[in-house]
Structures are given as structure tokens and as C-alpha cells.
Structure 1
Amino acid sequence: MVYADRFVPDEARSRARETGEDAQSIPFLKRFTVFNTDQCDGLPEALVTVPPPIPDGLILPQAERLIRATGATLRIGGDKAYYSPALDYIQVPRPESYFEPINWHRTALHELGHWSGHPSRLNRNLSGSYGSKLYGQEELVAEMTSAFTCASLGIVPTVRHADYIGSWIEVLRDDDRAIIRAASAASKAADYLLGFLPETEGDHGQEAA
């Protein structure tokens, strides 16, 4: 951040008093480094902003249990959903940000699908840039993982997984086996995620799938 203003030096003030002329001001710019307090640790209590709690019922308990069981770092807030491979965390907006909050689960589980591909987990290649074949393949994997996991947990978003999957199949239309490879990787990812649940819940999930 840059702050712009003007000031009158002490010498100019003294000279103006002696001559009776107006003191000349000098413009200046001052640069500050600004941090978002929500991204800082160890701040004094008075500086910490605490977001309001998410209303009960907006995040379904079965999804909350799965996310907690994985141990994934999930940050709720902001206006974008993404997974950061370098920092290994997931960011998703609050459920209230969605026209229908049930669709939050589709997004959160999509990003959890990306999370499963980290080198310390299923070790998929997450280095593709937007629009590339590699990026499109990973998007297919993440969305199909979300679809499989939502089905296993009995979650039915109103936004259709098929529409998103179809958009990336179009990008990969020259690769006849893209959907087969994505489905195989997504099945492994969904099994990996559901494997974090207690055995009784995991068995129920497999039956639902």
C-alpha cells in the first residue's frame, strides 16, 4: 500500500517566518507492507477477526466427519475454492456463499479430491497449468471423486457433476481414454478418502456407491 501526502520541512517554516512568504510544502509517497489479519498467527487478541460460526445444518455431519477424519487443512472463507499443492491446504467459501448451500459439499469434496493427489498420498501429477491437458485430467479426477464420495455419503447437490465433467471431456476430446483413466484414478481417490471413516461408516459408503 502507498500513502501520498504533502509536508512542510522545518527549514521552510523558519524561512517563511523570516521572510513573510508562504512555506512551500513537499509531496511525498510512503510505502507500507500490509497483511490480512486473517492470514497472520500470534496477533494480539484485539486485532484478530473471528468470523461468525457457520449456522447449524449447512454442513452435513457425514461430510464434516469425513473431512475431519482425513486430517486435511480446510479453510472456510474467501470467494474462491482451490487446493494449494505447495502449502497443502484447501480453501472453500462459506456455505452461505452458495445459492443453495448443499452445493458446498460438492465443492469441498472436489477440492478434497485434489488433496488426495498430493505426493505424500496418491501422488498424482498436480502441476498442470489451467487449460492444459494435464490440468483437465486432474479436474476430471477431482470432480468424479466428488461425485463418488457424495454418492457414498448420501449427499445430493443440485448442481450436476455430469455438467462439469462433460465440460472437461470436451477439452480432452482428442483423448479417447481420458474418461477411463480419470474414472480409475477417481475411484482410487474416493476409496482412499472414505477409508478414513470408521469401518461401519466406510462399509455403508461402499454399499451406497
Structure 2
Amino acid sequence: MPQTNRQTVYASVTKRIITELEQGRVPWVQPWGTPDVDTPLGLPRNGSTSKAYSGINILILWGAAIENGRRTQNWLTFKQALSLGGCVRKGEKGTTVVYADRFVPKKERVKAAENGDDPQAVAFLKRYTVFNADQCDGLPENLFVGASPLSERDPIPHAEALIEATGADFRIGGDKAFYVPSQDYVQVPPQPAFRAQIDYYRTCFHELGHWTGHETRLARSFKGRFGSRPYAREELVAEMTSAFVCASLAIVPTVRHSDYIATWLDLLREDDRAIFHAASLASGAADFILAFQDESDSGGMAA
């Protein structure tokens, strides 16, 4: 894709996110749970391959599903709908998602072979159109099965099991929630200390989002003081990590640090690729945490 087209994609998606934030809506958590929205919780998936979408595509597809009141988080290309025995209804408008990758041009391979150097890959960003299963006819019924929201009773066993399975040094006590990179531990207040007990789990997965960034795990940078751009970036990653994990566990996401919104807006206005980068890192962090579900399901502990 030409450079100008890539810039258009980054700018258009970032502009949409900025508009949402300016209007007081945080696109990775709202408006889940409102009475007029029937969209089920969960991460968006490709209905043909069952593969979960990641990074910025989660925000794009969540937004499209909620805006249009879709009944499912399953998405398909036009051809995939046909391959499953269905079809996109006439007049339905698709949603544009993006695919980022790298390739080595032929000229670069030839040049590298002549000089004995390593060929240099070139980044590209491709757009393609998908449709929610709700926009199609004739698809298998399993594509319309959504996650059921959990009650807010405490505890939530599978959330507790996942936290334990991570093997994180997870301490409960005090009146503040935080992660200490230098000592690699998480601390959160006792669950009854939260006004809404469901917030305990949202907070746990926010702090575990930070925990994934330790140098022995996903190795993100923790440099930057409160209010700085690096600090805002890491908080944005942790916020979205919590939202992605909570959605996977059928826990309604929320904003833990609404006072950061102004800083996030500054960050996005300054760099139209920031939300892409943060969403990608958040997907990686959420995947890292959710990979421990196998341990929690089997009753084992991670090393």
C-alpha cells in the first residue's frame, strides 16, 4: 500500500477514536451493558476460521457491532459467508478492518543476494471488508451463540482461577492498586473494599496488564513519570488489556482511570499511530494472560 494510503488509514481510525473520547465515550469499554444494546460480550472473531481479531481491529469491530446493535461478535468476508452456505444480505454495508505485515520486495532480495547483506523487509497495511454474521442469511446457528453476562456476585470462580494460574506475585491488601516492576509484584485492595465488587476483577487485570510488560515477559518500557507520554502509553495498554481480558471472561469492561482520558487525547492527537501500537501491545498482553486459562481449567499452576 502506498505511504499516503497507509497514513489515511492511521489518520481515519485515530480521528474516530479521538471523537469518541472527546464525547466522553471510551471505545474499548462503552456502551456495554446499556439496555438498548444486545451485542454480546467477547472478543470479535472470524466466523470461518474462529480466529480472534487483535489490536486495533478489536476496537473497530466492537464499535461497529455496538453502533449497529449486532447480536454476535462473529465476522466474515463476503466469500467466507458464501463458503459457509450463507450470503451477505443485499444492501448491507461492511466494516473495514486492517492487516499489518511485512514483506521483502523482489528488488531487495536481488540486491541483498548481490551484496551478501540481509534483505530489508517493508511494512505494509492492507484494508479489507468484513460483515457481521447478523448481516447474513443462511449461516450455521453456532455463529449466533453469544457469551452470557455474569452476575456481579463475588467471587467469580474462573476469574479467580485465571489470576492464580498466572503465577504472578499477587498481593491483596492496602487501599491502592499498583504494579512494582522493580520487585515484580501486583497489589490490589481486598475485594470488599471496592464500591462495586466486580471492579475488583477489572482492577486485577489492569495491574496484570502492567505485569505482562516485565522484562522477563513481554519487555515493555516502564520509563516515564505520571503525566508523561510514556506513562500515558503504558496506562493505555493496561486499560485495553483489562478490557480485552474482561470481555473474554464475560465481565463488562469499564474505565479504571477516567482521569487519563485528557492525556490519551493529547497522545492520539500527537501521533496517529499511537492507538494502533497500544492496541497491538494490549492484544499481546491479553493473549499472554488468557493463555493461562489452560492451567486454570486443568487446576494446575503456572511455573
Matched residue SS, 2:251: coil
d(CA) in 1 for partners of 2:166, 2:241: 15
Q: Is the 8 A contact 2:164 2:296 kept in 1?
A: no
Q: CA deviation at 1:83?
A: 0.1
Q: Is the 8 A contact 1:144 1:161 kept in 2?
A: no
Q: CA deviation at 1:168?
A: 4.0
**Matching residue of 2:208:** 112
Query: Which of 169, 178, 186 is residue 264 of structure 2 equivalent to?
Result: 169
d(CA) in 2 for partners of 1:86, 1:162: 23
Q: CA deviation at 1:197?
A: 1.3
Task: Give the aligned CA root-mean-square deviation in angstroms.
Answer: 2.1
Q: CA deviation at 1:65?
A: 0.9
Matched residue SS, 1:108: helix
**Matching residue of 2:282:** 186
**Matching residue of 1:140:** 236
Is structure 2 residue 225 aligned with structure 1 residue 129? yes
d(CA) in 2 for partners of 1:92, 1:162: 15
Q: CA deviation at 1:63?
A: 1.3
Matches within 5 A, 1:42-57: none
d(CA) in 2 for partners of 1:75, 1:183: 27
Letter in 2 for 1:66: L
**Matching residue of 2:22:** none
Q: Is the 8 A contact 2:176 2:188 kept in 1?
A: yes
Q: CA deviation at 1:163?
A: 4.7
Residue deviations 1:37-88, cap 9 Å, x none? xxxxxxxxxxxxxxxxxxxx52311111111111001111101110000000
**Matching residue of 1:58:** 154
Greater than 6 Å deviation, 4+ residue runs: none
Is structure 2 residue 186 aligned with structure 1 residue 95? no
Residue deviations 1:124-159, cap 9 Å, x none? 0012211111110000000000000000011125x4
Structure 2 gaps, min length 5: 1-152, 298-303
d(CA) in 2 for partners of 1:72, 1:167: 31
- With over 3 angstroms needed to count, the CA separation of the structure-2 counterparts of 1:138 and 1:123, relative to structure 1, is same
Q: Is the 8 A contact 1:76 1:94 kept in 2?
A: yes
Matched residue SS, 2:214: coil
d(CA) in 1 for partners of 2:175, 2:169: 17
**Matching residue of 1:80:** 176
**Matching residue of 1:196:** 292
TM score, norm. by length of structure 1: 0.64
Matched residue SS, 1:83: strand
d(CA) in 2 for partners of 1:122, 1:175: 23
- With over 3 angstroms needed to count, the CA separation of the structure-2 counterparts of 1:165 and 1:144, relative to structure 1, is farther
Q: Is the 8 A contact 2:206 2:238 kept in 1?
A: yes
Q: CA deviation at 1:164?
A: 6.4
Query: Greater shift after overlay, 112-121 or 57-66?
Result: 57-66
Q: CA deviation at 1:171?
A: 3.6
Larger Rg: 1
Residue deviations 1:23-43, cap 9 Å, x none? xxxxxxxxxxxxxxxxxxxxx
d(CA) in 2 for partners of 1:85, 1:160: 23
d(CA) in 1 for partners of 2:228, 2:174: 26
Provide the aligned length of Structure 1 versus Structure 2. 144
Q: Larger RCO: Structure 1 or Structure 2 (Cα < 8 Å, ≥ 6 residues apart)? A: 2
Residue deviations 1:161-184, cap 9 Å, x none? 695674442241312211111000
**Matching residue of 2:14:** none
Matched residue SS, 2:287: helix
Structure 1 gaps, min length 5: 1-56, 202-209
Letter in 1 for 2:265: E
Q: CA deviation at 1:106?
A: 0.9
